[in-house]
Structure 1
Amino acid sequence: MYSLIDCHNHSIYSFDAVDTVEAMCLRAEELGLTAFALTDHSDLNGKNLTECIETVGQSVDKVEQFRSTHSLQCELLTGLELGEAVDYPKDAKVMVKLRSYDVIIGSYHNSPNGEDYYYIDVQKMSDMEIRTSLQGYFQKLIETVQNTELDVLAHITYPLRYVVGDQGRRIFLSDYEEQLHLLLTSIINRGIALEVNTSGLRQKIGEPLPNKTILQKYRELGGTMVSLGSDSHNTRDLAKGIKECTQLLSELGFTNITYFRQRQPVFVPIG
C-alpha cells in the first residue's frame, strides 16, 4: 500500500482552475492523501506582478486558515507554481519572498517566441522549426534550474502534451540528449526534486511528464529526489495517476517520494 502524495494542484486562484481551496483540501482528505500541496499559478509576464501577489497571497492565506480550523489526517501544504521566473528575475524574487511557503515549484510553459505551447499550432511548423523551438525550451529549463530559487522542477516535457499528445507530431528525445543530460545533472547538483507530473496519463499523450525513459536516465545519473503532482485544476482530477506513477518509480528503483515542508525535503518510503 503506497502513501498517496500530491504536491502540484490548483484552485480558483489559478486562472484555469475551477474549485475552491476548501473543496480541494476536503477532497484530498476524502481520498486519503498523506500530503497535499496547493500550488496556484504565478506565471510571470512582466506586467502581472500585482495580480500574482494578490492571487497567490489569497491562495496561501486560505490554506493556512483552513488547516488552522480543520483537523485532518492529510497534511495540507502551501506553495505556488512559479512560471517563467528566469525571464523576470526581479518579479520572481518578490513572489519567492511573498509568503513562507512549504514548496516552490518552478516551471516553464513558453516557446522561445513567448507563446505558451498550449496555444501553438505546430501543424504550421516544419520538423526543424519544432526542433529549434524545443531546444529553446529545454535551454530555458536549464537556466531556470541554475538561476531560480525553487524546490521542485515541474513537468519538464510540458510541450509534448500538445506537440505530441494533442497535435500528433513525432518527437525524438534523442535529439535533445545533451540538453536533457545537462538539465538532469543540474537538478541533481542543485538539490532540487524532479517532478513526475501525472497529468499526461489522463491526456492524449498517455504518459507522465517526464516519461519513463527520462526518469530512468535521471536515476542512472544519481537522481533520487522525485516529487509527485497530478496538476489537478479541479477536485475530479486530484490525485489521478499518483498511484500508478508511484508504482512506476518503485519499478525504476526509486525508494522514496519527496515532498516539502517549510522548504525542507521530507522523504516518504515507497511501499
Structure 2
Amino acid sequence: MYYYDYHVHTTNSTDGKDTLMDVCQSAISKGVKEIAITDHFEPTQVNQEYVFYQPELFFKEIEEARQIFKGLLVIKYGVELGQPHIYPIYSEKLINEYPFDFVLASAHKIKGDVDFGDIDYTQANRSFYMQKYIDSLYELVQWGKFDCLAHFDLIKRYCARSGIKINLIEEYEEKITEILKEVIKKGKGIEVNTSGLRQYSAGLMPDWDILSLYKKLGGTHLTIGSDAHSAPEIGAGFQETVELLKKLGYKTVTLYKKRKPYEIAFSEYTNGKSA
C-alpha cells in the first residue's frame, strides 16, 4: 500500500533524529508516495525569532532532495508551528514569506513557555491542566492561520505517561464541539496523528470519539501523520488508521499543495495517486 505521511520531522527539528536524506530513503523503502516535512518552528519568550529554524536552509535541502528522489517520492514543504497564537508576529512572518505547501499548528505549551510535556500530572491537577489545554486549543483555532490542527488531544499522551488516563470529550464535549465547529467554519482540518499508537496512550490522536464528532459536524479535511522523529517511524500505524476512518464513515483523506486542500478517496490514498 502507498501512503501519504503529513507529519514528519528531521534533524532540522531540535528533537529530530535523522536527516532529510535518511527520512526520504526510509519512506521510499516502505512504499510511501508522499511526505510533508513539518519541522518545528517554536518561538519562546527569550527566542521569539526561533533562530534554530533556518528557512532558507530548509527549502534548499528539500529542493535538493526533490531532485535526488524525483519520480520516487513527492516531498512537500511543511512546518509545524508551536503555539503561533502566543507568538503570532514571527509565526505569521514565516508562513507569509515562504511558499509552504502545508502548515500544521500545535498547542505544546501554555503562555509562559510551560510545556505540557514537562508537567507532573496527578489526579489532583489533571482537571486544571486539561482546562488549560482546551483553552489553548480554542485560542489557537481562533488565530486560525494554519491548515490543520495537529494531535488534537495531545495532553492525553503526557497524562498516560504519568499513569493517568483521560478522555477530553467526556469532560469537555461542549467546548470541543465549539472548537471543531470553528475549525470547519474556517475551512481548516484536523490531523489524525498515529504517534499515540507507539506511546503510553496507545491510541490515535484524536481518539475515535472526537473523529466521530468531527464527522457528525460535517468535517471533511483530515490528514494522516506519523509524527515521525526518526526514519523508521515513517508511515507507522497507517493501515489500522485507514481502516478505523473507514468504519467511522470517512471516504477521503486531504492532501495539500501550496496550502490548497484537495481530497482523495481511500482507494487513491492506498494506490499512490498524487499531485
Give the TM-score range, shorter chain: over 0.9
Q: Which moved more, 1:75-84 or 1:131-140?
A: 131-140
Residue identity matched to 2:107: Y
- Distance in 2 (CA, whole Å) between partners of 1:58 and 1:233 is 19
Task: Tell me if structure 2 keeps the 8 A contact 1:82–1:92.
Answer: yes
1:47 to partner: Cα distance? 3.0
Task: Tell me if structure 2 keeps the 8 A contact 1:5–1:34.
Answer: yes
Residues 1:53 and 1:190: Cα distance change in structure 2 (over 3 Å)? farther
Which of residues 191, 202, 206 is equivalent to 1:206?
202
- Distance in 2 (CA, whole Å) between partners of 1:52 and 1:183 is 31
State the match for 2:30 in structure 1: 31
State the match for 1:161 in structure 2: 157
User: Within the alignment, does 1:80 sit opposite 2:75 as a pair?
Assistant: no
- Where does 1:5-154 land on structure 2 (aligned, <5 Å)? 5-52=4-51, 54-111=53-110, 114-123=113-122, 126=124, 129-154=125-150
1:110 to partner: Cα distance? 1.7
- Distance in 2 (CA, whole Å) between partners of 1:204 and 1:181 is 26
State the match for 1:217 in structure 2: 213
- Distance in 2 (CA, whole Å) between partners of 1:160 and 1:57 is 35
- Where does 1:168-187 land on structure 2 (aligned, <5 Å)? 168-173=163-168, 174-187=170-183
Task: Tell me if structure 2 keeps the 8 A contact 1:41–1:56.
Answer: no
Residues 1:60 and 1:120: Cα distance change in structure 2 (over 3 Å)? same
Q: Could you report, residue by residue, the CA deviation over 1:16-49 in whole angstroms, capped at 9, with x for unpaired residues?
A: 0110011111221221112211000001213324
Q: Could you report, residue by residue, the CA deviation over 1:146-198 in whole angstroms, capped at 9, with x for unpaired residues?
A: 213111110011111011x2111132432111111111111111111110000
Q: Secondary structure at the match of 1:132?
A: helix
State the match for 2:272 in structure 1: none
Q: Could you report, residue by residue, the CA deviation over 1:188-216 in whole angstroms, capped at 9, with x for unpaired residues?
A: 11111110000000111110000111101
TM-score normalised to structure 1 length: 0.92
Task: Tell me if structure 2 keeps the 8 A contact 1:53–1:98.
Answer: no
Task: Tell me if structure 2 keeps the 8 A contact 1:111–1:133.
Answer: no
1:73 to partner: Cα distance? 2.9
Identity, in percent, stands at 30
Residue identity matched to 2:103: I
Q: Which runs of 5+ in 2 are unaligned?
A: 268-275
- Distance in 1 (CA, whole Å) between partners of 2:76 and 2:39 is 12
Which of residues 223, 226, 243 is equivalent to 1:227?
223
Q: Secondary structure at the match of 1:62?
A: helix
Q: Secondary structure at the match of 1:22?
A: helix
> 4+ residue stretches of structure 1 with deviation over 6 A?
none
Q: Could you report, residue by residue, the CA deviation over 1:37-63 in whole angstroms, capped at 9, with x for unpaired residues?
A: 100000121332444474344223211
Q: Secondary structure at the match of 2:37?
A: strand
Q: Which moved more, 1:213-222 or 1:29-38?
A: 29-38
Residues 1:255 and 1:52: Cα distance change in structure 2 (over 3 Å)? farther
Q: Secondary structure at the match of 1:247?
A: helix
Q: Which moved more, 1:224-233 or 1:236-245?
A: 236-245
Residues 1:237 and 1:172: Cα distance change in structure 2 (over 3 Å)? closer
State the match for 2:270 in structure 1: none
